[in-house]
Amino acid sequence: MTFDIKESGLIIAAVGMWVGLASAADETTTQDIYADIARLFPGTYTNAAQLATAEGQAEAFALTTIVKPLKNPALGETLYYLEEFRDNDPDAVARIRIYSFMTEESGVRLRLLNPTDVKALHGTHADLSRAEKLTLEDIHLDREVCMLDMTSLSDTIVAQMRYQACDVRDTWMDYELIIDHTGTWTCYARRLQSDDSLSSLQMPAFPCIRQQRIAPTSP
Q: What pTM was computed for the model?
A: 0.85
pLDDT value at 10 more than 50: no
Closest CA to 121 of 73, 82, 176, 148: 82
**Domains of the chain, each with CATH number or no CATH:** 5-215 (2.40.128.590)
Q: DSSP string spanning 132-178?
A: HT--GGGEEEPPGGG-EEEEEETTEEEEEEPTTTSEETTEEEEEEEE
What separation in angstroms does the CA of 161 have from each of 3, 110, 111? Answer: 21, 9, 10
Q: What mean pLDDT comes out for the span 134-150?
A: 96
| The predicted structure's pLDDT at residue 23 | 43
